[in-house]
Amino acid sequence: MSDSQTLKSKQYDNLPRALVVMEEASPNGKATGWHSHPRGQLLYATKGVMLYATKGVMLVHSDLGSWVIPPNRGLWLVAGVRHNVIMSGDVLMRTAYIDARQIPHLPSQSCAIVVSPLLRELLVAASSISPTAALDARQTRILELIVDELRVSSTMALHLPMPSDARLARICQALASNPADPTDAAKWALRINVSERTLHRLFSKELGMRFAQWREQARLMLALQKMAAGHKMLSVALDCGYASPSAFSAMFKRHFGLPPSEFYQ
C-alpha cells in the first residue's frame, strides 16, 4: 500500500510540501461529511472500475451552493470552504492539496474547471508520488506543471448558488428538489409577498442571475446527474421540465456549447 493510500485526507493539510496528491476509490453514495481544509483543493474524479453504463459524478455541497462535477471536469475549492462531497456512482477521486501561502496566483474563487488531457495525466502521475519522500527532478516538474495547468484552466458553469435571504431560500430549496416545477416568477413572488420586480432584483443581488436563469441552472444540475446515471434522454428532459428531448437539447447546447450526447465523451 502506498503512502498516499495510508495517509488520511486531514493529514495532507499538515505536510511540509506545498502540493501533494491523494488517490482514493469511493463507492456510490459515499459522503465525506461536512468539513474544510486550510489548503486549497483540486478535486478530480473518473469513473470507477465497476462502472459500465454509468459515469460517476461528484456532488459537492457548500454553504454558498452546490456543484455537480462530471468526469473530465474538476473543482477548485479555495482554502477554508466548508463542504460535503457525495459520490453519485463509483468514482476514483484524485485530490491535489495546494498551500496557496507557498504557491501564489491560484484561482481566487472556488470554481469548476475543464481538466485538460495533460492535467489529467499529471494528476495520475502525481498520485503515485510519495507525499513525504524527497522529490527527484521529474517529480518536481510534474507538480510544477499541475500548478501551471490549474492557473490556465477554463472554468465551467456547474455551480448552483444558494441565497442567504430566507424568502429566496424557500423558492430555491423547492426548485432544487423539483426543478421541473413550472411555477413562474409572478406566482413565486405572490407566495413570498413581494412584487415580481422585487423578486428579480433579489435574485440578481443574491445570486447574480434572474429567476429563470437560476431555475435553468438547477435543471442542468439535475440533468447532469441523470445523464451520468444512464437515464434515457426523454426521461431526463421530462424530469427537468422540458416538453421534449429536442427542447432540452437546445437549452443544453446553448449553455455548454455542445449537445448532451457529446458532453460525457
At 53 the pLDDT is 40
| pTM score, whole prediction | 0.84
Is residue 48 predicted with pLDDT exceeding 90? Answer: no
Is residue 141 predicted with pLDDT exceeding 60? Answer: yes
At 247 the pLDDT is 94
Q: Give me the sign of the Cα torsion angle 24, 27, 28, 33.
A: negative
What CATH class has 3-156? mainly beta
CA–chain centroid gap for 28, Å, is 16
Confidence of residue 89 (pLDDT cuts 50, 70, 90): confident
Per-position b or e across 45-70, b if 16+ CB within 10 A of its CB: bbbbeebeebbbbbbbbbeebbbbbb
| Residue extent(s) of CATH 2.60.120.280 domains in the chain | 3-156
Q: What percent of the chain has pLDDT over 70?
A: 93
What CATH class has 162-263? mainly alpha
Cβ pair 181, 241 in contact under 8 A: yes
Mapped onto helix, strand or coil, the DSSP state of residue 103 is coil
Indicate the average pLDDT of the chain. 90
Lowest mean pLDDT among 93-107, 199-213, 217-231: 217-231
Between 48 and 258, residue with greater pLDDT: 258
Q: What percent of the chain has pLDDT over 90?
A: 74
- Strand (E) or helix (H) holding 40: strand 40-47
CA–chain centroid gap for 9, Å, is 19
At 121 the pLDDT is 96
Type of residue found at 47: K
At 50 the pLDDT is 36
Type of residue found at 257: G
CA distance 94 to 82: 19
| Residue extent(s) of CATH 1.10.10.60 domains in the chain | 162-263
Is residue 105 predicted with pLDDT exceeding 70? Answer: yes
CA distance 83 to 101: 21
